């Protein structure tokens, strides 16, 4: 079951039937709207654009808030409830803000055999944030524990911002990766 993540302001997970708090309205940029229109045209049914549009929403707004879900529903012309259901099912849609550099640390079996548990602790220690507890005060870092990233042969495996994989990560490598982030060599979140 994909447990709903805490909404942007509340510290508690959502109870059944509970709604995400209202937040300010979000409007897609004209380019994003055009992109969503283009995607809708590629599929036999417009509903199929839901996942791609949520990815675009995450890129545009940084994370998938309730307002972002509403914007997606409006852009495609489908019920808000549908978008909410989809967004809360998939773990890659962040339902709360993340840091400029979001670390996804795989702790599944192959990585665990090669020290992923210790690595996760190191990542938390160095960034000063706990998994799933939102970004660090300076907004730089956030950490998430994830399932297999299909990098098992070069474990342990860490993904930074859903586009760079770093493999065979030990403490030295971790420091290098964090330094590279600070120098801006990695694409920041939502770009």
Partner 1 sequence: MVAIRTKPDHHTYTFPGFGSEKFPNLLLRGAGDLNNWHLNVYEQQHEGYVAMKAALKMEPVAVTDEVKASGLRGRGGAGFPAGLKWSFMPKDSADRKFTRYLVCNADEGEPGTFKDRVILEYNPHQLIEGMIIGGWAMQCVTGYVYIRGEFLWLIEKLEAAIQEARDAGYLGKNILGTGWDYDILVHRGAGAYICGEETALLNSLEGRRGEPRVKPPFPAAKGAFGQPTTINNVETLAAVPPIMRMGGAEYAKIGSPKNSGTRIFGVSGHVKRPGIYELPMGTPMNFLVEELCGGSSTGKKIKAIIPGGASCPMLDEKDFDVPMDFDNLRARGSMGGSGGLIVMDESVCIVQATLRLIKFYAHESCGQCTPCREGCNWMEMILHRIEHGEGRPGDLELLSSLTPRIAGRTLCPLGDAACGPMDSALQKFRHEFEHHITHKTCYVQGSRLLSTVGAH
57's tokens: 């929403």
Residue 58: phi and psi, rounded to 5, are -65, -40
Residue 53: phi and psi, rounded to 5, are -65, -35
Residues near partner 1 (CB under 8 A) are: 1-3, 42-45, 47-52, 54-55, 82, 85-86, 89-93, 104, 107-110, 112-118, 120-121, 124, 130-133, 144-155, 159, 162-165, 167-168
| Contact between 47 and ligand FES per CB under 6 A | no
Q: Which does 170 bind (CB under 5 to 8 A by kind): ligand FES, partner 1, none?
A: none
Question: DSSP readout, 49-103?
Answer: GHHHHHHHHHHHHSS--HHHHHHHHHHHT--HHHHHHHHHH-TTS-SS---SEEE
Report CA 50 to chain centroid distance, whole Å. Answer: 16
Select the residue interacting with ligand FES from 148, 164, 180, 190 (CB under 6 A).
148
In the complex, the smallest distance separating the C-beta of residue 175 from partner 1, rounded to whole angstroms, is 18
Give me the helices (H) in 98-183, please: 109-113, 116-127, 171-182
Q: Which does 133 bind (CB under 5 to 8 A by kind): ligand FES, partner 1, none?
A: partner 1
Helix, strand or coil, per DSSP, at residue 106: strand
In the complex, the smallest distance separating the C-beta of residue 115 from ligand FES, rounded to whole angstroms, is 11
Q: Which does 14 bind (CB under 5 to 8 A by kind): partner 1, ligand FES, none?
A: none
Give yes or no for a cis peptide into 74 (omega within 30° of 0): no
In the complex, the smallest distance separating the C-beta of residue 104 from ligand FES, rounded to whole angstroms, is 10
Which residue lies nearer to ligand FES by CB, 73 or 177?
177
Interaction with ligand FES in 64-103: which residues (CB under 6 A)? none
Distance in angstroms (rounded) separating the CA atoms of residues 101 and 116 = 19
Which parts of this chain interact with ligand FES (CB under 6 A)?
106, 108-111, 148-152, 155, 157
């Amino acid at each position: 079951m994909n447990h709903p993540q805490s909404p942007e302001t509340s510290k508690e997970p959502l109870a059944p039937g509970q709604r995400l708090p209202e937040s300010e309205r979000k409007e897609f940029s004209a380019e994003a709207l055009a992109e969503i229109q283009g995607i809708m045209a590629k599929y036999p049914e417009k509903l199929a654009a839901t996942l791609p549009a949520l990815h675009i929403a995450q890129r545009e707004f940084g994370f998938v808030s309730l307002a972002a879900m509403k914007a997606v529903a409006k852009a495609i012309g489908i019920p808000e409830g549908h978008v909410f259901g989809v967004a809360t099912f998939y773990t890659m849609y962040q339902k709360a803000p993340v840091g400029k550099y979001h670390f996804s640390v795989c702790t599944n079996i192959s990585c665990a055999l090669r020290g992923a548990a210790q690595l996760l602790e190191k990542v938390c220690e160095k960034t000063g944030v706990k998994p799933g507890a939102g970004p660090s005060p300076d907004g730089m870092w956030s950490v998430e524990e994830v399932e297999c990233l299909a990098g098992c042969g070069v474990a342990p495996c860490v993904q930074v911002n859903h586009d760079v994989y770093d493999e065979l990560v030990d403490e030295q490598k971790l420091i290098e990766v964090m330094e590279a982030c600070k120098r801006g060599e990695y694409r920041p979140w939502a770009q």
